[in-house]
């Protein structure tokens, strides 16, 4: 594909679609029976070792009370595929990013990603089954929003990742904007361990820890919050957390989506920030998702469930949840943090443009210093205004 594009991978989904065309095998049905198994071949001096246990991989958590509801294996993958595709109307009208990220008992998307990642499900087979459904319905959605469109996003990220040196880092990655992200371990740990004080964000991070899977838009919210929305922490740090905890963790897709969500590549509208309060509320005003994954808030009245720090103390006592003791206060104020992030990104974008993408370590250091000075000046000004007022 890169050859068709002058040696470089296409950087937009639409140009990827144009170059990809239809798969050559699309019209010939794939066999679902295995006719032979490839021989193991010469393994040289390598020993074939045992499959390591989860403890050996460092994942054991004896205290975990809720495990992922998604069972592994090919039979489970095929069962899930059949169930997802049995509702032809649902398949035909599938439209992302529509869909409710807060629905967890029956998720709004297929949850086939872990099976694709581990090779329990063939993406070609999935594609062909979708084409079979489309043939039998009057109308269906199209890429990028359709289900086939989702599979093509996967291939889009594989193609760009393959053709981009240093795709998984900011430095030396020619498609990645150079941004002076902060490094703040305390905030990073609060995010990772679901202690940001924003119930919508924390509930998603608990779902990640317990289930290893969250809806696409939920991933958007927590990735935006960590990077360009609130905490201004490097996307590589968030990528590492996802890499370790997602059951569908996939090198190309994970890095690609973190580049996207942090406005480092592919998507550049950094003024569009997900609110950690109103976004989830739109889908789930009662906060059922929060109540499930953060049971400490289960008795908080719905008026306060997305902003429990605003609840009067009497309500907090009645709900058995004192903010600042049983559940944290917000680690940042969203209004001022998001404003600050926008300002920093605007300056970083201007620098990238001025230097034509050739931003070096020293340039980033200077910009970081300037941003800090501006921030100090701003807070001195605010303090003075307060004193005068
Ligand atoms: C920050 C962030 C990190 C992510 N990391 C991963 C990851 O490590 N592994 C992973 O598989 N997906 C990742 N995604 C993409 C997406 O969220 C998941 O693929 C999707 O939620 C999986 O659920 P599903 O199988 O029900 O998807 P469906 O909507 O049912 O889609 C079917 C399949 O299409 C593919 N797909 C869907 N959305 C995307 C997308 N945006 N990019 C690439 N392929 C897509 C997946 O293989 C998915 O299984 C990430 C998204 C974000 C925002």
Residue 330 lies in a domain: yes
Q: How many CB atoms lie within 10 A of CB 311?
A: 20
**Residues 243/268, Cβ–Cβ less than 8 Å:** no
Q: Which of 138, 163, 188 is the last residue of a domain?
A: 163
Q: What is the pLDDT of residue 45?
A: 82
On whether both 235 and 284 belong to a single domain, the answer is yes
Residue 43: inside a domain:
no
For residues 188-195, give the mean pLDDT.
Answer: 98
Q: Which of 365, 373, 367, 376 is nearest to 348 (CA)?
A: 367
Query: What is the rounded CA–CA span in Å between residue 114 and residue 213?
Result: 8
Give residue-wise pLDDT tens across range 5-28: 888 999 999 999 999 988 877 777
The pTM is what? 0.94
Task: Tell me, using a 6 A CB cutoff, whether residue 297 lines ligand 1.
Answer: no
139 and 261 co-located in one domain: no
Tell me how far the alpha carbon of residue 109 lies from the centroid of ligand 1, in angstroms: 10
Distance from C-alpha of 46 to C-alpha of 266, rounded to nearest angstrom: 41
343: its two tokens: 């300002």
Assess whether the C-beta atom of 254 lies below 6 angstroms from ligand 1: yes
- pLDDT level of residue 375 (50, 70, 90 thresholds): confident
Instruction: Locate 297 and state its tokens.
Output: 């808030």
Mean pLDDT is lowest, of 29-33, 132-136, 154-158, 183-187, for: 29-33
Q: Flag whether 33 is in a domain.
A: no
Q: What is d(CA 38, CA 32) in angstroms, rounded to the nearest whole number?
A: 16
Q: Is 122 in the pocket of ligand 1 (CB under 6 A)?
A: no
Backbone angles phi, psi at 323, to 5 degrees: -75, 130
User: How remote is the CA of residue 123 from the centroid of ligand 1, in Å?
Assistant: 13
- Distance from the alpha carbon of residue 198 to the mean position of ligand 1, in angstroms: 24
Atom of ligand 1 nearest to the CA of 111: 26
Question: Do 75 and 150 share a domain, yes or no?
Answer: yes
User: Is pLDDT of 387 > 60?
Assistant: yes
Mean residue pLDDT of the chain comes to 93
Q: How confident is the model at residue 43 (pLDDT cuts 50, 70, 90)?
A: confident
The confidence score (pLDDT) of residue 5 equals 86
CA torsion through residues 303, 309, 313, 318, sign: positive
141: Cβ–Cβ under 8 A, 6 or more apart, which residues? Answer: 92, 93, 94, 95, 147, 149
pLDDT of 383 reads 81
User: Has 154 been labeled as part of a binding site?
Assistant: yes
Mean pLDDT confidence for 336-347: 97
Same domain as 248, residue 306: yes
List phi, psi (to 5°) of 267: -130, 130
Region of poorest pLDDT, from 162-176, 211-225, 369-383? 369-383
**Can you tell me the distance from the alpha carbon of 177 to that of 162, in angstroms, rounded to the nearest whole number?**
19
Q: Which residue has the higher pLDDT, 37 or 251?
A: 251
> Is the minimum distance from the CB of 242 to ligand 1 under 6 angstroms?
yes
Q: What is the pLDDT of residues 108-140, one digit of tens each?
A: 999 999 999 999 999 999 999 999 999 999 999
Same structural domain for residues 333 and 189?
A: yes
117 lines ligand 1 (CB under 6 A): yes
CATH number, domain with residue 136: 1.25.40.80
Section 359-369 average pLDDT: 96
What pLDDT is attached to residue 63? 66
Mean pLDDT of 201-218: 97
Number of Cβ within a 10 Å radius of residue 302: 14
Burial class (CB in 10 A: 0-12, 13-18, 19+), 329: exposed
Q: Which of 131, 163, 195 is the last residue of a domain?
A: 163
Same domain, 198 and 83: no
Above 70 in pLDDT, residue 389? no
Same domain, 142 and 277: no
Average pLDDT over residues 358-379: 92
Q: Which residues contact 107 (CB under 8 A, 6 or more apart)?
A: 213, 215
Q: Which of 241, 253, 259 to mutate to test the pocket of ligand 1 (most atoms within 8 A of CB)?
A: 253
Domain check: are 93 and 221 in the same one? no
Q: What pLDDT, on the 0 to 100 scale, is given for residue 48?
A: 76
At which of 139, 163, 187 does a domain end?
Answer: 163
- Collapsing DSSP to helix, strand or coil, 182 comes out as strand
Supply the pLDDT for residue 62.
57
Q: Is 323 helix (H, G, I), strand (E, B) or coil?
A: strand
Strand (E) or helix (H) holding 128: helix 123-135
- Smallest CA separation from ligand 1 atom 6, residue: 254
What's the count of helices (H) and strands (E) in the chain, helices before strands? 16, 0
Helix intervals (H) in the chain: 13-20, 74-86, 88-93, 113-117, 123-135, 147-163, 185-192, 199-211, 216-224, 235-245, 251-261, 278-283, 288-293, 313-318, 334-354, 361-388
What is the domain range of residue 294? 170-389
Given the structure tokens 């193609």, which residue do they identify? 159
121, part of any domain: yes
Q: Is the peptide bond before 309 cis (omega within 30 degrees of 0)?
A: no
Atom of ligand 1 nearest to the CA of 94: 29
92 labelled as ligand-binding?
Answer: no
Residues 226-242: what's their mean pLDDT? 98
Structure confidence at residue 61 (pLDDT): 66
How much is the pLDDT for 257?
Answer: 98
Q: 257 alpha carbon to ligand 1 midpoint, in Å?
A: 9
CB of 112 closer than 6 A to ligand 1? yes
pLDDT tier, 4 (very low <50, low <70, confident <90, very high otherwise):
confident
Say whether pLDDT at 244 is over 80.
yes
Residue 178, token pair as written in the block? 């150079």
What is the pLDDT at residue 56? 85
Domain-embedded: residue 214: yes
**Which ligand 1 atom minimizes the distance to the CA of 150?**
34
At 32, the pLDDT band (50, 70, 90 cuts) reads low
- Say yes or no: CB of residue 80 within 6 Å of ligand 1: no
Q: Kindly state the tokens that stand for 43.
A: 């393994």
**Confidence band (pLDDT; 50, 70, 90) for 34?**
low
Is the confidence metric ipTM above 0.85 for this complex?
Answer: yes
* Per-residue pLDDT tens digits for 82-95: 999 999 999 999 99
List the single range of 45-49, 62-66, 162-166, 209-213 with lowest mean pLDDT: 62-66
**Ligand 1 pocket, mutate which of 103, 224, 257, 261 (most atoms under 8 A from CB):** 257
Q: What's the CA-to-centroid distance between 161 and ligand 1, angstroms?
A: 15
CB 121 within 8 A of CB 248: no
- The pLDDT value recorded for residue 380 is 85
In the chain, the number of structural domains is: 2
Q: What whole-number distance in Å separates Cα of residue 313 and Cα of residue 315?
A: 5
Site to substitute for ligand 1 among 68, 70, 113, most atoms within 8 A of C-beta: 113
- Is residue 68 scored above 70 in pLDDT? yes
CATH code of 251's domain? 1.10.579.10
What are the pLDDT digits (tens) for 295-326? 999 999 999 999 999 999 999 999 999 999 99
């Amino acid at each position: 594909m890169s050859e068709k594009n002058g040696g470089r991978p296409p950087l937009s989904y639409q140009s990827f679609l144009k170059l990809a065309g239809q798969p050559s095998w699309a019209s010939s049905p794939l066999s679902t029976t295995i006719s032979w198994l490839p021989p193991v071949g010469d393994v040289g001096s390598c020993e074939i070792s045992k499959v390591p246990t989860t403890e050996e991989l460092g994942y054991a958590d004896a205290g975990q009370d809720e495990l992922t509801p998604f069972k592994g294996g090919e039979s489970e993958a095929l069962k899930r595929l059949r169930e997802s595709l049995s509702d032809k109307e649902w398949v035909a009208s599938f439209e992302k990013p529509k869909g409710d990220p807060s629905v967890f008992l029956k998720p709004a998307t297929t949850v086939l990603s872990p099976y694709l990642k581990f090779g329990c499900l063939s993406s070609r087979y999935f594609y062909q089954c979708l084409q079979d459904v489309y043939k039998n319905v009057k109308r269906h959605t199209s890429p990028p929003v359709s289900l086939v469109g989702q599979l093509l996003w996967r291939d889009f990220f594989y193609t760009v990742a393959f053709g981009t040196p240093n795709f998984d880092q900011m430095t030396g990655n020619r498609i990645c904007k150079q941004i002076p992200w902060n490094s703040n371990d305390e905030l990073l740990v609060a995010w990772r361990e679901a202690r940001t004080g924003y119930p919508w964000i924390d509930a998603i991070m608990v779902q990640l820890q317990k289930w290893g899977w969250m809806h696409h838009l939920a991933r958007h919210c927590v990735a935006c919050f960590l990077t360009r929305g609130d905490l201004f922490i490097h996307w590589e740090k968030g990528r590492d957390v996802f890499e370790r905890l997602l059951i569908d963790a996939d090198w190309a897709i994970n890095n690609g989506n973190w580049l996207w969500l942090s406005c480092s590549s592919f998507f550049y509208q950094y003024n569009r920030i997900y609110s950690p309060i109103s976004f989830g509320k739109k889908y789930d005003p009662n906060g059922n998702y929060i109540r499930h994954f953060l049971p400490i808030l289960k008795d908080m009245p719905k008026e306060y469930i997305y902003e429990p720090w605003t609840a009067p103390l009497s309500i907090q006592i009645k709900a058995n949840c004192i903010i600042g003791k049983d559940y944290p206060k917000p680690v940042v104020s969203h209004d001022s943090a998001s404003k600050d992030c926008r300002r920093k990104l605007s300056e970083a974008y201007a620098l990238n443009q001025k230097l034509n993408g050739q931003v070096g370590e020293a340039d980033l250091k200077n910009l970081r210093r300037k941003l800090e000075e501006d921030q100090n000046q701003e807070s001195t000004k605010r303090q003075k205004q307060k004193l005068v007022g």
